[in-house]
Amino acid sequence: MAEKRLRILVAKPGLDGHDRGAKIIARALRDGGFEVIYTGLHQTPEMIAEAAVQEDADAVGLSVLSGAHMTLFP
């Protein structure tokens, strides 16, 4: 029986528009055998949480280069 691939949601919260690193990580995870869901830019914490639930994600990776992580995720 095939082993279940872990589902990783990669998200870019806030107004930070630099997503190259998140895309590189998403590709590396995919190439490593994970199933990756990339939400795109400018996501709110609520949008990310909802997507994680809807996609039945096993883990969530956040990329925040703006320094707003303490404001977005207190």
- Whichever domain contains 66, its CATH number is 3.40.50.280
- Domain span holding position 44: 7-72
Establish if 1 belongs to a structural domain.
Answer: no
Establish if 2 belongs to a structural domain.
Answer: no
**pTM of the entire predicted model:** 0.87
Establish if 36 belongs to a structural domain.
Answer: yes
Q: What is the pLDDT of residue 66?
A: 77
State the CB neighbour count (10 A cutoff) for residue 25. Answer: 16
Per residue of the chain (74 residues), give pLDDT as tens: 678 899 999 999 988 788 999 999 999 999 999 999 999 999 999 999 999 999 999 999 998 877 777 787 77
* Residues contacting 37, CB < 8 A, separation 6+: 7, 8, 9, 10, 51, 55, 57
Establish if 56 belongs to a structural domain.
Answer: yes
